[in-house]
Structure 1
Amino acid sequence: MTNEDRIGSLHEEAQEWKQYGPEHQLLHQDTSRRRMQLPKQVCDDNSHAQIQNMRPDRQWMYQRRTRGLIDPNFIDGVNSFVEFAKAHSNCLDGYLMRCPCNHKKCRNRNLLDEDTIKAHIAKYGFVENYETWIHHGESDDGIIFRGHVVGEVFEQFVEDENLSAFGTMIHDVVGPSFQSNDIEDNPTPAIQHIYDLLRAEQQELWPNNPNRISKLSVVARLMNLKAEHHFSERLYDDFCQLMKECVPSNNVMVDGFYETKQLVRGLGLPVEQIDCCKRACMLYWGEDRELISCKLCGHDRYKRGRTNFGSRKTMVPYKKMFYFPLTPRLQRLYASNATAKHMRCHCEHEMEKDGVMRHCSDSPAWKHFDKMHPSFASECRNVRLGLCTDGFQPFRQSGQQYSSWPVIVTPYNLPPWMCMKDEYMFLSIIVPGQANTKDKLDEIGVETYDVASKQNFRMRAALMWTISDFPAYSMLSGWSTTGKLACPYCMEDSYAFILTKDGRNKKWFLKGKLVKKATPQVKSGDQILEEIESFGLQKITEINGEEINYDIKKHCNKCGWKKRSIFWDLPYWKTILIRYNLDVMHIEKNCFDNIFNTVMNVSGKLKDNAKSREDLKVFCDRPELHMDERTKRFPKACYILDRKQKEELCNWLKELKFPDGYVSNMGRCVDQRRLKLFGMKSYDCHVFMQRLIPIAFRELLPQNVLEGLTELSIFFKDLTARVIKDKYMQRLEWEIPIILCKLERIFPPSFFDCMEHLPVHLAYEARIAGPV
């Protein structure tokens, strides 16, 4: 049954609740339980002991059935409960209220309409121990509470019982110093926006509407629908006009999207458009705001010959970026009761004595930072940040060469189940452009009010590390991730060599040699900074135009470094144990693609071809894979499936079913004509790599091949566990080289590019920086 079918059935039951008398209702609910085939314990009432301990006027809540039928007293009680909740507007979101049924998806979390709530309560009963209706306007001492959900329910005290959720949102935005009753004769535009919001929050959509729907609540919900369902502005305008026609004529409904933006712009956070040099040399910002040409390369800031609006010329920049200031977004976290108390989670929880790491604050890197910077660590409300960036091509289908680079920042102060949610990943920068920005993306506290402790403090922020895929790793760190020195951990101690058939260099030939050298020690921040400065590397913004390519190429070929990252300007950057984290998801996806495409023999993507077999003959002693001199053909390898096996695997994947929300429909990614997968997202590859590889290839591959792939699958599964231990990560550090050696005895040398080498360092990063 789909979600739409479930919702439809609930609404049908709600209508039957209102249409039929008590006798029909009782019979309907009893047959509903049998039809849904619910377990008896789900439909039965709570224990007799719990009912006896309740206040007498609320015992009806858990005496739902009498002789298998719904008790009439229970029906009357539900009706009185709904009327009580409707009388407290601070507990309503428009015409919606929290559903107190005992279904696992509700339990005072979901906002539903009145009829659906009645149907839910009739089917599932009330949530346990809800004798006091704190989410519907009641408490033991008469104080009114309201609920606010951001991933879970937070109960918050509100001094003004007439303050709705939208009114509280406005007060969170404007801060504690604003008093709505301090009316100014000539308010500034910013203050006038606040007054407009407060007025819209108190102004009903039309006078005396039964659900007391305010103008602001309707606008806020429409904006949410626009974002969720990707409304166009034209659709939004037409929808507003339809609503104006459906409600009484004396309404105050907005006319369209423009009026909505004018109303809610005071709720938003600031955003700035900053002009950039076309060659990405500099930003026209701060003291360089008024320049009309780049001070590094001399390129013009504005396009020439562009006219608009008749004869009036407009100054159109060649390139611009969007900057979303981070400070007000962090301050907003402390301005809201829903998040302020959770910003201390990292210091209030205690690490288990068994050494389990559940949060980044349990990691050695976090504790080392506290030890090196005690003044910063002494204020637990100071913010620790992680930064991530990656490029994508938004117009890939149209074939246009256009890329965008978003920069995402997330605060690690929040608990694990919050800091990785979308709403707490702050988009700080968007760099759009026709060309790839790549190498040129480089770019004191503030008084803040903490609503949880009701006091001001000086908030400071520190960047703990970055997380990126391998190309972006090069852009952020300044280390060249191509060629022989691609690995940023092994550096010059790498044993990489170039294959003779795919390259011209034949010097690094290691056949027949046993390597006994220990793994290289990870260099400290002081050692790396000293090395960068010894080569005289500069930041990209300090290199003049004609010197860029020559200077970068010279130093990159010499040492692996190609520039001095701007992050080294941070005074604490060299004291951090891990500055740049490898993105596990990208590495896992690349490993999966190499394995699956090679095993499925996908043309153009497999790592086993004619040149690879020729290299195999030179570097390895595996004559069973050499070319047959008589037929001039290469024999089939043991790790490649034949057509019948590939058809069986594709048919199995086509019919494979997963729980809702676990993974996308993988059957849509199967190309049964070409016998391959397409359109696989990173998370789909993540699930396939960790869950399906040992099952999918169990009866299709030889035991030695299946064993190596299964051990690699288990490695990624253990690595990405939600909780980890230091000794487990040390075990993975010891196991992963052995796993890769097993795979080297199976797959050809061309299979092992840098992506197959990077897993060697992932367990170390998890052991130092915490759970992936």
Structure 2
Amino acid sequence: MDRSWIHRSRDRIFRAGDQYEAGVNGFLDFAFSTVPIGEKISCPCIICINRRLGTRDEVFEHLIVDGIMAGYTVWSSHGEVIPSNTTIIENIVVDEEDEEDEEIVNINDILQDVFPGEAFEGAGGSSISGHIEGIGNELEKLDRLMQEAEKALYPECNEFTKLSFTVALYHIKCLCNWSDKSFSMLLDLLKKALPQNNTLPNSLYEAKKMLKDLGLSYNKIDACPNDCMLYWKDASNDKSCLKCGASRYSPKSKAPAKTLRRFPLIPRLQRLYKSSVTSSEMRWHKDGRMDDGKIRHPADAEAWKDFDRLHPTFSADPRNVRLGLSSDGFNPFNDIKNSYSIWPVIVVPYNLPPWKCMKQTSFMLTLLIPGKNQPGNDIDVYLQPLIDELKLLWDGVDTYDSLKKESFHLRACLLWTINDFPAYANLSGWSTKGALACPCCNKETMSTWLKHSHKQCYLGHRRFLEGNHKFRLDKRGFNGCVEFGVAPQPLSGIASLAQMEGVEFPTFGKGSDKNDTDKRKRVGGRTKLPFNWKKRSVFFELPYWKHNLLRHNLDVMHIEKNVCDNIIGTLLELKDRSKDKLEARLDLQDMNIRPSLHPQRIEGRTKVIIPPASYTMSKVEKEQFCKALDGLKVPDGYSGNLSRCVKVTERDMSGMKSHDCHVLMQQLLPLSIRVHPTKNVKLVLLSLCAFFRCVCAKVAKTEDLNQLEASNA
């Protein structure tokens, strides 16, 4: 029996042909001839790999959709006798006499993923005059790519074509962070090394021009250097800013002073459904998720379920996409001395299963906001192109589903944002500084200005305790007052808009207006903004945003690192990193609380003695604490080398990354803190570590989280 069809099963176009189907039917006839009628056989598709049983129809569907295992030419798991010249390795049979090398880049798979099924089937003809309605552009791109895919890299080359080699080479460039110059130099070298009449691109520009049809491109939108506006839509041809008058171009050159790079979101979401594999995974939240009351995925959370209740037409089709957005600044030059800050805006599709949606390969870069200074509240100017796309996605765009072989109306929504606390202010519009810094408590935030520490202190946390909790009556342990207040309710989107109703917020931009040096000044004097609102967030332009139950989230890794650094700094009494300083003790004295911790002045001398607190450790205990971490051995990849951060003789710890703090808080601190002499301090720190461990768990229960909130309030 001819089994050459097995070696070509990776080719999706071939799997759709009669030869492959005839081979599958021949295999099924043989496999079911050795089992009783009505029984099941092991499925040899690349997903099941002979570990799952299925009926004839189920196995046939798997083999057509996914393909058969590579090299399974001897059907040993289905009753065939194994010849003496074959080797079996974990159910995958490799014929030593007829072994074929796998193709490094399957260009047919790539083109099938990029272009819809109708376009792929209609390509290759002598005319692409648009006989298939609505995909004329796609046909033109596909026709160009098919021509490049048919050109051999050099005469008599059977391994690579011009397109497949260029894609593979560019993929390595991206993975290994090659510079454009090094890539161009490599192309020059390969051009000389390959035989004459080779088709390798002559330059990086030529390679990018060819790969552009694969959808690997972005749009450039010029911006005002003062972050006032974007030069797009009606202002695309303007030469200067309409608000501050700054020139669009740099005075030293003709290049734009600032450029926003936009990566279109809609084509990338549509591409998820152009592959039958990812199209199936995009339904996981509905078809594959286990609904047992445990929280493993955003679909198990109350915010997702509340959105489904409010928008039943959206939730009716599981292919509609739920998105999360995150943005933060970083230094692309890896140089602490350079203050350059660039802000990527990343979108994550939550339809995918949890083991895929949070992988780097699933992250979608939508905007790259240029530096050198962070945009601050003016980030809304740069978010406008993305907001326009999200509005269009809410109404829906026509998309081809390769799994069901049909076109459908794809819709998408933005559920929430995830940021650290400073970026929270930039995206939400509520300032996270000052007396009303808490966005949840809003106008009911309780704060006290500390005269000596020169900062706000927030002491209203006892309001979140139960009404009969003993801490509510504890004056001595807190701020000297009894607490009878009620916990404030988080502000809804509708209530937020009500607070901002009728307010004229300052215009965007860091430059001055032509006729007004202070952008906050108006005819009646300085504009008074309500509470801590600094702007009306651009996200409120989305028609559903004000109804979202949870609009903004804080990244737990940032919080965990800040808490860890402060705990370590205070326990080891590190200079400039401890929270227990002379200024803090003087503030306690002004508030007339904790008299045992008040600083004591020695008569006749300027020296001030700071009494030890319950968490203060001796030098020996600090050294034991550092030794416990310095001598720790962990598996490779578990965490960074913590010993490089610990200095035992100096009783110091510094230079820990976010993941190091994550591991330290959840696993290592409970072990090293055992040297502390005070039982109450150990119990508090152990409870705090258990809190972060529960919050970061892969699986959680609602009742456990409620109990955790009550016990740690």
Question: 196-205 vs 385-394, which deviates more?
Answer: 196-205
Secondary structure at 2:602 match in 1: coil
Secondary structure at 2:221 match in 1: strand
Q: Specify the code of the residue in structure 2 equivalent to 1:182.
A: G
Work out which of the residue numbers 326, 342, 359 in structure 2 matches 1:421. 359
1:403 aligns with 2:376: no
Aligned to 1:81: 95
Tell me, in whole angstroms, the C-alpha distance in 2 between the residues paired with 1:279 and 1:435: 10
Aligned to 1:64: none
Tell me, in whole angstroms, the C-alpha distance in 1 between the residues paired with 2:93 and 2:299: 49
Aligned to 2:415: 464
Aligned to 1:526: 494
Aligned to 1:201: 149
Q: Please tell me whether the aligned partners of residues 617 and 623 of structure 1 are also in contact (alpha carbons under 8 angstroms).
A: no
Q: Please tell me whether the aligned partners of residues 585 and 599 of structure 2 are also in contact (alpha carbons under 8 angstroms).
A: yes
Tell me, in whole angstroms, the C-alpha distance in 1 between the residues paired with 2:167 and 2:709: 50
Aligned to 2:241: 294
CA spacing shift, 1:573–1:541, aligned 2, 3 Å: farther
Work out which of the residue numbers 572, 576, 582 in structure 2 matches 1:610. 582
Aligned pairs for 1:633-652 within 5 A: 633-652=609-628
Residues 419-470 of structure 1: per-residue CA shift (max 9 Å, x gap): 1111111111111123221011113321111111111111121111111111
Work out which of the residue numbers 180, 195, 200 in structure 1 matches 2:123. 180
Q: Specify the code of the residue in structure 2 equivalent to 1:341.
A: S
Aligned pairs for 1:12-411 within 5 A: 54-55=77-78, 57-59=80-82, 74=87, 81-86=95-100, 92-94=102-104, 165-178=106-119, 179-184=122-127, 194-208=142-156, 212-240=159-187, 243=190, 251-255=198-202, 257-304=204-251, 306=252, 314=254, 316-353=255-292, 355-395=293-333, 397=335, 399-411=337-349
1:448 aligns with 2:399: yes
Tell me, in whole angstroms, the C-alpha distance in 1 between the residues paired with 2:635 and 2:245: 58
Q: Specify the code of the residue in structure 1 equivalent to 2:305.
A: K
Question: 620-629 vs 366-375, which deviates more?
Answer: 620-629
Secondary structure at 2:416 match in 1: strand
Structure 1 regions of 5+ residues with no counterpart?
A: 1-45, 61-70, 95-163, 308-313, 738-772
Q: Specify the code of the residue in structure 2 equivalent to 1:623.
A: S
Q: Please tell me whether the aligned partners of residues 623 and 649 of structure 2 are also in contact (alpha carbons under 8 angstroms).
A: no
CA spacing shift, 1:351–1:191, aligned 2, 3 Å: closer
- Deviation of residue 345 (structure 1)? 1.4
Tell me, in whole angstroms, the C-alpha distance in 2 between the residues paired with 1:572 and 1:459: 17
Tell me, in whole angstroms, the C-alpha distance in 2 between the residues paired with 1:361 and 1:506: 37
1:626 aligns with 2:599: yes
Aligned pairs for 1:482-497 within 5 A: 482-497=433-448
Tell me, in whole angstroms, the C-alpha distance in 1 between the residues paired with 2:553 and 2:687: 23
Aligned to 2:470: none
Q: Please tell me whether the aligned partners of residues 254 and 260 of structure 1 are also in contact (alpha carbons under 8 angstroms).
A: yes
- Deviation of residue 85 (structure 1)? 4.6
Structure 2 regions of 5+ residues with no counterpart?
A: 1-49, 51-73, 131-135, 385-394, 461-477
CA spacing shift, 1:284–1:671, aligned 2, 3 Å: farther
Question: 597-606 vs 657-666, which deviates more?
Answer: 657-666
TM-score normalised by L of structure 2: 0.75
CA spacing shift, 1:350–1:511, aligned 2, 3 Å: closer
Aligned to 1:691: 667
Tell me, in whole angstroms, the C-alpha distance in 2 between the residues paired with 1:586 and 1:78: 46
1:600 aligns with 2:538: no
Question: 621-630 vs 702-711, which deviates more?
Answer: 621-630
- Deviation of residue 409 (structure 1)? 0.7
CA spacing shift, 1:193–1:537, aligned 2, 3 Å: closer
Aligned to 2:451: 500
The CA RMSD measured in Å over matched residues stands at 3.6
Q: Please tell me whether the aligned partners of residues 141 and 213 of structure 2 are also in contact (alpha carbons under 8 angstroms).
A: yes
Q: Please tell me whether the aligned partners of residues 493 and 546 of structure 2 are also in contact (alpha carbons under 8 angstroms).
A: yes
Work out which of the residue numbers 493, 508, 515 in structure 1 matches 2:483. 515
Aligned pairs for 1:430-445 within 5 A: 430-442=368-380, 443=384, 444-445=395-396
Q: Please tell me whether the aligned partners of residues 323 and 347 of structure 2 are also in contact (alpha carbons under 8 angstroms).
A: yes
Q: Please tell me whether the aligned partners of residues 586 and 598 of structure 2 are also in contact (alpha carbons under 8 angstroms).
A: no
Tell me, in whole angstroms, the C-alpha distance in 2 between the residues paired with 1:683 and 1:594: 16
Secondary structure at 2:335 match in 1: coil
- Deviation of residue 248 (structure 1)? 5.1
- Deviation of residue 622 (structure 1)? 4.3
Secondary structure at 2:609 match in 1: coil
Tell me, in whole angstroms, the C-alpha distance in 2 between the residues paired with 1:85 and 1:381: 40
Tell me, in whole angstroms, the C-alpha distance in 1 between the residues paired with 2:613 and 2:445: 29
Q: Specify the code of the residue in structure 1 equivalent to 2:599.
A: H
Q: Please tell me whether the aligned partners of residues 351 and 362 of structure 1 are also in contact (alpha carbons under 8 angstroms).
A: no
Tell me, in whole angstroms, the C-alpha distance in 1 between the residues paired with 2:521 and 2:711: 42
Residues 324-355 of structure 1: per-residue CA shift (max 9 Å, x gap): 111111111111223111111122245534x1
Q: Please tell me whether the aligned partners of residues 87 and 95 of structure 2 are also in contact (alpha carbons under 8 angstroms).
A: no
Q: Please tell me whether the aligned partners of residues 324 and 416 of structure 2 are also in contact (alpha carbons under 8 angstroms).
A: yes
CA spacing shift, 1:248–1:317, aligned 2, 3 Å: closer
Q: Please tell me whether the aligned partners of residues 538 and 564 of structure 1 are also in contact (alpha carbons under 8 angstroms).
A: no
Q: Please tell me whether the aligned partners of residues 625 and 635 of structure 1 are also in contact (alpha carbons under 8 angstroms).
A: yes
Tell me, in whole angstroms, the C-alpha distance in 1 between the residues paired with 2:455 and 2:264: 49
Secondary structure at 2:449 match in 1: coil
Q: Please tell me whether the aligned partners of residues 540 and 563 of structure 1 are also in contact (alpha carbons under 8 angstroms).
A: no
CA spacing shift, 1:549–1:351, aligned 2, 3 Å: farther
Residues 528-568 of structure 1: per-residue CA shift (max 9 Å, x gap): 21111154547748999445345898545x51212111111
CA spacing shift, 1:650–1:72, aligned 2, 3 Å: farther
CA spacing shift, 1:222–1:640, aligned 2, 3 Å: farther
Residues 208-238 of structure 1: per-residue CA shift (max 9 Å, x gap): 55x7344433333322222222223343344
Q: Specify the code of the residue in structure 2 equivalent to 1:626.
A: P
CA spacing shift, 1:58–1:212, aligned 2, 3 Å: farther
- Deviation of residue 639 (structure 1)? 2.3
Tell me, in whole angstroms, the C-alpha distance in 2 between the residues paired with 1:535 and 1:420: 39
Tell me, in whole angstroms, the C-alpha distance in 2 between the residues paired with 1:79 and 1:380: 39
- Deviation of residue 189 (structure 1)? 9.6
Q: Specify the code of the residue in structure 2 equivalent to 1:563.
A: K
- Deviation of residue 512 (structure 1)? 2.1
Aligned to 1:730: 706
Aligned to 2:58: none
Tell me, in whole angstroms, the C-alpha distance in 2 between the residues paired with 1:208 and 1:724: 59
Tell me, in whole angstroms, the C-alpha distance in 1 between the residues paired with 2:226 and 2:187: 44
Tell me, in whole angstroms, the C-alpha distance in 2 between the residues paired with 1:612 and 1:292: 54
Tell me, in whole angstroms, the C-alpha distance in 1 between the residues paired with 2:368 and 2:178: 22
Q: Specify the code of the residue in structure 2 equivalent to 1:330.
A: L
Question: 283-292 vs 630-639, which deviates more?
Answer: 630-639
Tell me, in whole angstroms, the C-alpha distance in 2 between the residues paired with 1:430 and 1:237: 24
Q: Please tell me whether the aligned partners of residues 446 and 460 of structure 1 are also in contact (alpha carbons under 8 angstroms).
A: yes
Tell me, in whole angstroms, the C-alpha distance in 2 between the residues paired with 1:674 and 1:550: 53
Residues 743-763 of structure 1: per-residue CA shift (max 9 Å, x gap): xxxxxxxxxxxxxxxxxxxxx
- Deviation of residue 78 (structure 1)? 9.4
CA spacing shift, 1:329–1:498, aligned 2, 3 Å: same
Secondary structure at 1:219 match in 2: helix
Tell me, in whole angstroms, the C-alpha distance in 2 between the residues paired with 1:334 and 1:185: 24
Aligned to 1:563: 535
Q: Specify the code of the residue in structure 2 equivalent to 1:361.
A: A
Q: Specify the code of the residue in structure 1 equivalent to 2:174.
A: A
Secondary structure at 1:559 match in 2: coil
